[in-house]
Amino acid sequence: MGQKKPEPQMPMYGVAVDQGSGLGAAIAEARGSEARETDLFDFKKAVVECLSRDASVLLVDAEYGRELLPHFNPACEKLLAYEADVYRIATSERITVLPDNLSVADYAGLGVRRLKFFLYYAPRGSAETNEKKHGLVRDIGRQCADHGIEFLFEPIVYDETVTDSTSLEFARLKPDLVREATAIYADPDFAVDVLKVEIPVNLAFVEGFGSGEFDRGWALDCFRQAAAAAGPIPLVYLSAGVSFDWFEQSLRLAREAGVNAAGFMCGRAIWSDAVAEFGHGGHARLTEWLTGEGRRRLERLKAAL
């Protein structure tokens, strides 16, 4: 008999700082001769301390999570990633590597009631590979149910034949891929409590934002159709590395489309500019930027949604 899960906290105004080796490399480059082994942890700690006061939930990674949890504002929910590194994917099947220092059974003892798991997923890809991925997600969902942990699942879509995710060809496919992935993982068999999903359109090709191959009405329909595929499961949007302004506009489009989104989880779009500040002026400049511009960006995203 599983333990009782927490109710999903809504709205989810989330900040994500679960990036690993890629963020570490960017910080090292920005810091140059001033780089230190502790820089990645120090950066994450500053994000937690400066932004958890305004975020309703904040996501940290498995590697540094235990050390970061004590630095949360008490009012902010702790969300802990169940991945070795979002940049470390096993084999060409793109199956996420699980952490070797953390199990689902550990979460409650750490004071964490919410787990995030990320997976690259090609809805029209190899049936054999997808069944492996389905089995992995089912297993994590069952473990979360057994231990009373809320399961927030993040499928990132791709296509095995259209490999350039920035191309017009992929932009035509993306709304359907996001909708199909959402519908698949909304099945109760996966025991997902919250779906963390991509913006279904690439604004680079939408009228009024980019080159205009797609009109605004088409984009709004894409939001509606992709969101409807989730059924009763709450949706939160992720920023997926886009610029802050475009993520803000994407949330406004979701609202215009009438999507009842449960919130957002935003990482680089909020704090990526802080990496350069850390490089130029050290910890003092980093915290000054996060408490100023970082907090303002978070408030703007809340207002957009």
Omega before residue 11 within 30° of 0, cis: yes
pLDDT bin (cut points 50, 70, 90) of residue 296 is very high
- Strands 95-96 and 89-90 come out as antiparallel
Give residue 87's pLDDT: 59
Please provide the DSSP assignment of 136-156 as one string: HHHHHHHHHHHHT-EEEEEEE
pLDDT of residue 86 exceeding 70, the answer is no
- Strands 12-17 and 57-60 come out as parallel
pLDDT of residue 97 exceeding 80, the answer is yes
Please provide the DSSP assignment of the chain as one string: -PPPPPPPPSSEEEEEE---HHHHHHHHHHHGGG--TTHHHHHHHHHHHHHTTT-SEEEE-TTTHHHHGGGS-TTSEEEEE-SS-TT-EETTTTEEPPPSS--GGGTGGGT--EEEEEEEE-TTS-HHHHHHHHHHHHHHHHHHHHHT-EEEEEEEE--SS---TTSHHHHHHHHHHHHHHHHHHTSGGG--SEEEEE-SS-GGGBTTTSS-SB-HHHHHHHHHHHHHTTTTS-EEEE-TT--HHHHHHHHHHHHHTT----EEEESHHHHTHHHHHHHHHHHHHHHHHIIIIIHHHHHHHHHH-
- 62 residue type, one letter: A
**Mean pLDDT of all residues in 27-34:** 95
pLDDT bin (cut points 50, 70, 90) of residue 2 is low
Domains along the chain with CATH numbers: 12-304 (3.20.20.70)
pLDDT bin (cut points 50, 70, 90) of residue 20 is confident
Give residue 48's pLDDT: 98
pTM of the entire predicted model = 0.94
> Which segment of 18-27, 146-155, 198-207, 269-278 scores lowest on mean pLDDT?
18-27
Tell me phi and psi for residue 83, to 5 degrees: -145, 150
pLDDT of residue 9 exceeding 90, the answer is no
For 201-221, write each residue's pLDDT tens digit: 999 999 999 999 999 999 999
Say if residues 283 and 46 touch (Cβ distance below 8 Å).
yes
